[in-house]
Amino acid sequence: MPRPDELVFPSRRERYEDRRTERQPKKVLDEFFDHRTLLTVARLVSQGQFETLDFPISTGKEGGVFRASGPGGFRAVKVYRMSNSVFKRLPAHALEALRREASDRNRARLIYAWTRREHSILRRLREAGVEVPEPYGYLRNALVMELVGEEGVPSPRLQDHDPEDPEAFYAALVEDLRRMVGQARLVHGDLSPYNVLVREDRPVLIDVAQSIETEHPQAPELLRRDVTNFARHLRRLGVDTDAERFLEAVGPVAPPAEVV
């Protein structure tokens, strides 16, 4: 079996042409893959989740998403940085949920809990019929999930790509949010064109770890903020909607069910 660092961006792998301007693999390797993370990648490989990481799809202060290859095809691997930057921009309700699982003094356990949280929320949304990447597994600070795209080419974010039929896109997004709120009983809490992908002219929601239970007192306010922000972008695409109509189409956050 190759060394852990040889599993990340192996030189023999051909990168598709749109990534020619990407930063050098060595720099990304140094920024994201400390010794513990490299061992985590090696463990996931030994589990059969994938064979190699090919290139970064997106990177940020909290972590990065990488395309992975293996016998089962392409996958996406989200790697959270092992640093405090992961939690600097988290909302209070998300930190509240994490603190029930790990101490603030144990940064690694908090990051592992955050990774586990995203995996479980993705599963919950998939079961409710919401279009999100299918989660395949996780370990420590790495989450393995479906690569949203075609033939190994990742789908673009809505921020970077306008759908051909904005009205149909809007209708599909309304249905996803209706299922998210009504069936999964979750509110995204950070919905924007940056965390919605466009696949075959339909939305796919990503970055769901900060989602909030509909029973939480802040849920109605966050849902309104989500649709208000998104309505602005949809209007720029020519969709005749506003925050009130969008919110009405999604439906209200239902009150908590009574315990019998």
Helix (H, G, I), strand (E, B), or coil: what is residue 51? coil
Reported as type and span, the H/E element at residue 178 is helix 166-182
Angle at which helix 243-250 crosses helix 166-182, to 10 degrees, equals 50
* Distances 100 to 103, 109, 209, 220, 251 between C-alpha atoms, Å: 8, 11, 15, 23, 30
Q: Verify whether residue 34 is a known catalytic residue.
A: no
Catalytic residue among 34, 207, 226, 240: 207
Q: Verify whether residue 226 is a known catalytic residue.
A: no
Round to whole Å and give the CA distance between 9 and 217. Answer: 44
Residue found under tokens 């598709």? 16
Round to whole Å and give the CA distance between 255 and 53. Answer: 44
Round to whole Å and give the CA distance between 87 and 157. Answer: 23
Cα-only R_g, the chain: 19
Catalytic residue among 190, 201, 226, 240: 190
Evaluated on CA atoms 149, 154, 157, 158, the torsion sign reads: negative
Positions marked catalytic: 190, 207
